[in-house]
Amino acid sequence: MSIIPILFRDSFMDDFMRPSIMEKSLFDDEFPANLLVANIPTRRGPKRRRCTCVTENQQNNAVQKKSRESFEVSIDVQNFKPEEISVKMVDNYITVEGKHEEKQDEEGFVSRHFVRKYRLPEGHDLEKVASSLSSDGVLTIRAPRLALPEVPAKERTIPIVRTEQIAEDEPKSQKTAD
């Protein structure tokens, strides 16, 4: 019996036994940006393990930021023309939709459609929600915080009420005599 099949068994069979990248990506919510990169560990050890170069936020193509001044969402929509994108506001929800019909790219024909909904947090101005599209295809939606009404400074004197009771919590050294 030869020892060579035993030595090469793991590395040879790994490529045939694991699911293909195409099968894995067909059932994902979004088709991955790069089909050649997969995060499927092999039995060959850590030095041969594949890893993705795309972070989860980049794969989802959306970044959501909340700050003291505003609520902001940035979405990568570079595959869509401006007329193929719509932003709508219903109650406290912002809906972003992008859709284009089948067109040819470098790998064949593709049609894309996405819908994203974001709940606008309390305390943001629904009337001042604005969106902008950058030249590199990033759609940014901003909602500023509601401005607190300016209350004019009122000066008020607070009366001091004298009681005949002794403050029990204070140490004796801090008490003052009348």
Tokens read off for 128 = 């001042």
CA 66/CA 64 separation, integer angstroms: 7
Say if residue 30 carries a ligand binding annotation: no
Other CB atoms within 10 A of residue 82 CB:
9
Torsion, Cα 10 16 21 27, to 10 degrees, reads -110
Instruction: Tell me the sheet residues that pair with 38.
Output: none
CA 152/CA 55 separation, integer angstroms: 49
Say if residue 113 carries a ligand binding annotation: no
CA 112/CA 32 separation, integer angstroms: 13
CB 71 within 8 A of CB 124: yes
Annotated binding residues, as ranges?
100, 102
Annotated binding residues for Zn(2+), as ranges?
100, 102
